[in-house]
Chain A
């Protein structure tokens, strides 16, 4: 067969090997840092670099979950209110009830599993299109934040939380970055080397064929939404620990659901499903964090931030989809 001869032989199946996007993203991010750094040396300072990395942790956690869901050919708009609810519940209970940090992790886990599983069941069992399902649960979960907070908000968190959000190990590595690193490693293993993760990709590639091949389609879909919920809830706990505050618009106010989708796409996740390079999603979040900070450093007026962010997302996603088309 002459056609096969043209296909280059590859020794191993690795996302980065096949998709140069991760390298391109790293290149563009570094170039942005160097360029803006030339204009203002403060941009390249260790302190600012550390800030930009810390700043992308919460969004990265959301984007990792979003990546799994989009890889099944779904979408989860409800990650922002899940983040908000988790931040509000754990933050308020810590602030007023003295909830220990370990308890907060358990609580966030429970919130994430329950809300994520509900999304997954609606999508997989009732066959409601994911965008409609999660548009509905977006409002539902947002409403829960209002009901639970009842007019109050989180203004401070106990020291243990603050340490989780702002502490470092050995004075160098920020704890949130360690948390993100651990989660990234876990998700990378799941999507790259577990049957569950490969089933997610198979369903996103071809759902009917996956069913025919005996993949448990429903369970896999529910699982993807549940993991996404857990990561969003964890992001909420990290947020409230980092900032020491949570209001009824935490998450939703910044449209973090849209940001999480955007950075996943920038990172190389296919909106049509079947492809989810998780490292790309984190690199996408880092890229967005750098760009947003750069806007401040080059003295773009604040009223332009939102438009500038949108423009960067459009450029990045368009450039990416061209290359893989």
Chain B
């Protein structure tokens, strides 16, 4: 078994690109392994490419391939799709979902899990995913619970939760991270255009520093 397994759990292909691509690259480079559980195909995305290259029915396959490519660029050996539908996570049985997460946790025994901070992650799928991950971790005996690092970006996050607990410098992976964001072209082409055409401080910051809040499990 590889050392230092990292488990990443997100609902949409491209969630991994913005928040944790640098952290994943760094982790793999240092000899760690990564399992990425991606719940949906992002099939309800609003972006259809620039120019429009997809429709509602072709988007799932396009995004499936984009995620394959992103995983390849990231060096992720273990990508698991959970076959759920975009926008519906919060309406599913979250205990059942937590139990599926629990099986993965038991199997790979991660040292750390990265997901969204429930209630502070803006998109309902993000919040519901984080919620189910926390349920899964809390179902474990206390001494077996991995660290849970979460992404939060709702307004008021820092007022409520304080500054992020973990700031990871990923500036060495800036260009690689940008490529991974670009791999999700159907969703990110407009954003990439913006990044390349003008200096966007917020975007540049996101490319060189990744921020996590440790969830109190």
Binding partners A and B:
no
